[in-house]
Structure 1
Amino acid sequence: MEYQLKKLVNHYRKALQIKPYNLAIYDKIAELYYEQRELDKTLEVCQEALQIQPDLASVSKVLNKMLQTLGFEGEEVTDFQNLLQSKLDYESFHLLLSRSETVKTAADIKTWKDAIVLGYDLKEKKQWDEAIIAYIKAIEIEPSLSLPHFTLNYIISYCFSPHPNKLEIIIAFYYQLIQGGLTSYYAYVVLGDILTKQGKVVEAILAYKTAIDKTIRFNQKITNKYINSRKIYDVNFLIIGMGKAGTSSLYYYLCQHPQIIPASDKELHFFNKKFDLGLDWYLAHFPPLPVGGGFLTGEATPWYLGSYEVEKKVFQLFPKIKLIAILRNPVDRAISQYYMNLKLMKEHRSLEVAMTSELEILKGVEDPTKVSNKYWQTEKGYLWFGLYFYFLEKWMAVFPREQFLILRSEDLYNQTDKTMKQVYDFLEITDYSLSAHPKVNSGFYSKTSNELRQKLDDFFQPHNQKLEDYLGMKFNWK
């Protein structure tokens, strides 16, 4: 059945290459995925069609069926359809679910949606144990969705370290879930991450490789040439930075290209946090590539650029790798990082206080990248990570200039096709036209005062000038 589904999807995808704006073909592909309970993929295909034409008539039938299967009713269906025109699925889920009637306790859970609403509320309150239970309940009710797996993994990886006994219970839950067969490929990624946390690296590697295998089997880009070729494990490119500058969008666009096969997860943090786990652990997150087959793979961990001595570790393992850095106006980037931390409850100061505090410290430092440990006890690096010149200078002392592509974040959004052609040329792959350019992980926040912006502009001006002189390119950040 899996083979037949893949064959039919490939047939319709080929038809789209001839008639890329034929929405009826998207409808057929979405219907195929829906019939196989591939609900995330159904949603993804519906969204592709909506990006081409916001008129919902061509995809409403299968989309409505899917939403009803998931427990949406009445106006919720319309709200969700509207959200799909501009948001990726898990962002849409959060936006819609946050409007829903609050579920007070686990006893109130009747649907997967109830479970995610409760989990979301508990996560916001930092009631991590209870949030984990709620998301596990959501997975039990509807295991094919990626969102509860994604959020559960985020809590365990970045917010809270459950007791080892509780981790063992979650591992057992995932093994039982996988044996049932009705689950997202991301379940294997979560299992791998939890096993890694437990120090069970060999078992984690197997989980990651299974995740990759499942994505490859359903990847319409894969051809007989790929399947029948001798393969090697390699990593061809890294998007090394910078955080809150568009790396998620860039990686998302790049992974639409038929010659790019993505890693199991966008950010692996191997070179800045997990290097001691070894090369085998890292390579398990990537698909094996045919020798000379034209396929490439890579990952995007945006904090590599500013992390201590990462460039030396990368060169040690992959001296010929291609490196992409996307740089955003450092004032905008700093403000965006602040609001991200505020949303994650990692920041409790006002914007003015947080920026002014860091500004006063960095003003008196000759080399702003060489700050004391005391600095990190109070500051979050909002301004520090925008000092691009000093980071790139260190990387380019290790790697030759021709292995770097430096992009402006503003160009990625204002001239997407032109910017992506630069990326394709740099990676030496064919040109490719994207059907849509959604902004991934974008945030919304109130306007910054002109006085604060001017202070930050004045601080960054000499550092931006050094960057322009060093790279021989203009950024025109005002």
Structure 2
Amino acid sequence: METESKQTTGTSGDRGAAEAEGENSQDSSGFDMTKELMRRNPEIFASIPRQTLPNYKNPCWFEEVPETELDSNPYRNTHYYSSIRTRLNLLARQFRDRLTDNGKAHLRFRCVPYFYIIGMPKCGTTDLYYRLTKHPDVIGGLVKEPHWWTRRRFGGRIGFHSNLSSPIRDYLDLFDEAAWTIRTRIRNRLFLARQEVVQHNVITGEGSASTMWDNRRWRRELWNTSNNEPPILVANLLRAVQPHARFILTLRNPTERLYSEYLYFTSGNKSVEDFHRRVSLAIDIFNSCLKNSSVRACTYEPTLPVIPNVRLQLGLYEVYLRDWFSIFPLDQILVLRLEDHSKDPQTTMIKIFRFLQLETVKEGGDTEAIFGFNKRNSRKKNDLRLGPMLPKTRRILDDFYGPHNHRLASLLDDERFLWLKDRSV
């Protein structure tokens, strides 16, 4: 066990300052969002401190471990993927030795992500994540997509113990391995007033592609909304808990995204004709919703009939992004296009490194894995044999998504998001 004296909280990542700015404060109707979030999520706010440690780029802190739990396995009830059980068992064996004794208590080092790749599905999030975690100052969590903020905390069906809700400690456990690297790897030592100041610049992150859009559980909260739209989103909770987090969003032509999703998730008999039938039905359902509700209400409505593997609403990027822009400062959200990344991955990755304030990667090492053209999670050979979607399917999808793409391009002030020239990537 290490023995050292360190304060348990610091001044970086101050959540209180963000709350004081009023992002989650009371609105004109008297609805206090911060109080509502804290009322419904007390464990989250109790587990992640308002202030995190100074001299750490990544938000981290020390958590006191009760004497009765010093020799127990802290991961024995972690409700997550069975594939990481071996790594959790290794962490359990190392647990006692990695605690800090400050003379008053035994402290456990904890971290939450510095960055999130928030979407969208089938837009290259897996490729971005694994390239990014090849950077020497980026350490991934135990899994790429925890889906905790959108699903697992409600008991979403992911991994083993799939019917059980997952507490915040389970989510934090996924970053304990990264936390040890963050704590022990020192990048810079500065001397101020003859005192050594140690800088820890390593960061961690995750890539749940549902974070951007999946707010399907909002109906469970029983909020009464006259416009049938959710008053609080996952983004609001993240803003209250981690006001300085950084978010990466990668998009692609929504018509192509939908076809890619159909091919990837559909098992058994699939065909371009079947895809056309499903698309036609999904468009009819959405247009029927629009007769009585707004585009935003229909986009977030969890009770609309679902056409398997044709999630039409996920291509309405502008609706989701406009909400995120209203919650987080624009400089904390980086929006990319898969089409650009596929053509020039090096430019994309350099842009991401600058956004995350990471040092330039030197020649050699993992530069090929970071900047090369080796794609991850690309289309399977059997799916390639099906060929492109039918022209009539492309036409109705382009007609459906066209107005939304125009609003997105206007929001971002970038005509590339009209996708007038891009096809399959």
TM-score range, shorter chain: 0.5 to 0.7
Question: Structure 1 residues 395, 212: closer, same or farther in 2, change over 3 A?
Answer: farther
Instruction: Specify the alignment match of 2:57 in structure 1.
Output: none
**Structure 2 alignment gaps of length 5 or more:** 1-73, 96-107, 154-164, 184-197, 216-232, 421-425
Residues 224-278 of structure 1 show CA distances to partners (whole Å, capped at 9, x for unaligned) of xxxxxx9652310000000000000000110111110111110001101123633
**Structure 1 alignment gaps of length 5 or more:** 1-190, 215-229
Instruction: Specify the alignment match of 1:396 in structure 2.
Output: 325
Question: Structure 1 residues 347, 313: closer, same or farther in 2, change over 3 A?
Answer: farther
- Do residues 477 (structure 1) and 355 (structure 2) align? no
**Distance in structure 2 (CA, Å) of the matches to 1:256 and 1:388:** 28
What does 1:390-429 align with in structure 2 at a 5 Å threshold?
390-429=319-358
**Distance in structure 2 (CA, Å) of the matches to 1:212 and 1:458:** 57
**Distance in structure 1 (CA, Å) of the matches to 2:275 and 2:148:** 31
**Distance in structure 1 (CA, Å) of the matches to 2:376 and 2:77:** 26
Question: Structure 1 residues 195, 298: closer, same or farther in 2, change over 3 A?
Answer: closer
C-alpha contact (below 8 Å) 1:192/1:207 kept by paired residues: yes
Shift of 1:470: 1.0
The CA RMSD over aligned residues, in Å, is: 3.5
Question: Structure 1 residues 331, 373: closer, same or farther in 2, change over 3 A?
Answer: same
Instruction: Specify the alignment match of 1:350 in structure 2.
Output: 274
Give me the TM-score of the superposition, normalised by structure 2. Answer: 0.57
What does 1:180-191 align with in structure 2 at a 5 Å threshold?
none
- Do residues 236 (structure 1) and 114 (structure 2) align? yes
- State the number of aligned residues: 271
Shift of 1:314: 1.6
Which protein is richer in helix relative to its size?
1
**Distance in structure 2 (CA, Å) of the matches to 1:210 and 1:349:** 50
C-alpha contact (below 8 Å) 2:113/2:203 kept by paired residues: yes
In structure 2, give the amino acid aligned to 1:408.
Answer: R
Match of 2:294 among 367, 370, 376: 367
- Do residues 196 (structure 1) and 132 (structure 2) align? no
Residues 90-128 of structure 1 show CA distances to partners (whole Å, capped at 9, x for unaligned) of xxxxxxxxxxxxxxxxxxxxxxxxxxxxxxxxxxxxxxx
- Do residues 464 (structure 1) and 345 (structure 2) align? no
Instruction: Specify the alignment match of 2:264 in structure 1.
Output: 340
Question: Structure 1 residues 454, 321: closer, same or farther in 2, change over 3 A?
Answer: same
In structure 1, give the amino acid aligned to 2:275.
Answer: L
Match of 2:88 among 207, 218, 227: 207
Which protein is richer in strand relative to its size?
2
C-alpha contact (below 8 Å) 2:75/2:92 kept by paired residues: no
Shift of 1:374: 4.5
What does 1:104-253 align with in structure 2 at a 5 Å threshold?
196=79, 207=88, 210=91, 233-253=111-131
Give identity over the alignment, percent.
27
Q: Give runs of ≥4 in structure 1 deviating > 6 Å.
A: 191-194, 203-206, 211-214, 344-349
**Distance in structure 2 (CA, Å) of the matches to 1:339 and 1:212:** 42
C-alpha contact (below 8 Å) 1:355/1:382 kept by paired residues: no
What does 1:39-118 align with in structure 2 at a 5 Å threshold?
none
In structure 2, give the amino acid aligned to 1:196.
Answer: H
Question: Structure 1 residues 263, 195: closer, same or farther in 2, change over 3 A?
Answer: closer
Q: Which has the higher contact order (CA 8 A, sep 6+)?
A: 2
Partner secondary structure for residue 326 of structure 1: strand
Instruction: Specify the alignment match of 1:281 in structure 2.
Output: 170
Instruction: Specify the alignment match of 1:306 in structure 2.
Output: 213
**Distance in structure 1 (CA, Å) of the matches to 2:123 and 2:93:** 27
Residues 208-235 of structure 1 show CA distances to partners (whole Å, capped at 9, x for unaligned) of 7729979xxxxxxxxxxxxxxx965231
**Distance in structure 1 (CA, Å) of the matches to 2:390 and 2:271:** 19
Shift of 1:477: 0.6
